[in-house]
């Protein structure tokens, strides 16, 4: 089953790293095929950035994301630039405190940045909170695969903080999906 995932936010939020981690989890630890691409403006930190991942059970013949079915939006600017055209049957996870707009598709509000600041004491792990919520809400990869990919990808010495952030994201994603 092919999934096209688009992450967007502003430079410095770890948007590109999030896409890399998801692709790594799928390809290295869940036995799927994955392709990751990224876009960021010349302003980099602070400007809109976007990372995309295609995940499939079969070899990926066309690696470009043409019509995302899953979105992770972490800023209003990211929503305006990359999320406004989401199809009605798409799933969108939005950072509840940073994104004012709401899409026409199914949306889950995840307070990733607020949780990273208050519960974990480090805003820098908001992207990892959001990855945990993404996996809990969509099951696009297994929890074991995403945990291994996070541990492979984060700076040495931050592993415990990032695993706490991931697990907090699992909890928030489960809560957001409850009817």
Mean pLDDT of 141-158: 97
The pLDDT of residue 46 is: 67
Per domain, the residue ranges of the chain are: 3-177
Fold for the domain defined by 3-177: Pyruvate-ferredoxin Oxidoreductase; domain 3 (3.40.920)
pLDDT at 21 over 80: yes
List, in order, residues 6 or more apart from 75 with CB less than 8 Å away.
8, 9, 10, 13, 48, 95, 98, 99
Choose among 36, 32, 25: nearest CA to 148.
Answer: 25
d(CA 96, CA 73): 9
Of residues 179 and 5, the one with the higher pLDDT is: 5
**Of all residues in the chain, what percent carry a pLDDT higher than 90?**
88
The pLDDT of residue 42 is: 59
DSSP string, 44-97: -BTSEEEEEEEEESS--S--S-SS-SEEEE-SHHHHHHHTTT--TT-EEEEETT
Average pLDDT over all residues of the chain: 94
pLDDT band for position 178 (cuts 50, 70, 90): confident
pLDDT at 19 over 60: yes
The pLDDT of residue 12 is: 86
Choose among 122, 109, 118: nearest CA to 79.
Answer: 109
Confidence (pTM): 0.94
pLDDT band for position 101 (cuts 50, 70, 90): very high
d(CA 10, CA 32): 29
- The number of residues in the chain equals 179
Would you call 170 exposed, middle or buried from its count of C-beta atoms within 10 A (0-12, 13-18, 19+)? Answer: buried
pLDDT at 54 over 90: yes
């Amino acid at each position: 089953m092919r999934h096209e995932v688009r992450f967007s936010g502003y430079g410095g939020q770890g948007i590109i790293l999030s896409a890399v981690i998801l692709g790594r989890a799928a390809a290295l630890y869940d036995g799927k095929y994955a392709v990751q691409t990224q876009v960021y403006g010349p302003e980099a930190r602070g400007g809109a950035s976007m990372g995309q991942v295609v995940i499939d059970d079969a070899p990926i013949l066309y690696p470009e994301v043409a019509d995302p079915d899953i979105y992770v939006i972490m800023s209003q600017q990211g929503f305006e630039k990359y999320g406004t055209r989401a199809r009605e049957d798409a799933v969108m996870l939005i950072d509840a405190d940073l994104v004012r707009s709401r899409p026409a598709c199914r949306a889950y509000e995840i307070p990733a940045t607020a949780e990273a600041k208050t519960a974990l004491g480090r805003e820098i792990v908001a992207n990892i909170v959001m990855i945990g919520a993404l996996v809990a809400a969509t099951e696009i990869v297994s929890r074991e695969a995403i945990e291994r990919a996070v541990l492979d990808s984060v700076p040495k010495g931050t592993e415990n903080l990032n695993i706490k952030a991931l697990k907090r994201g699992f909890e928030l994603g489960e809560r957001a999906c409850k009817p």
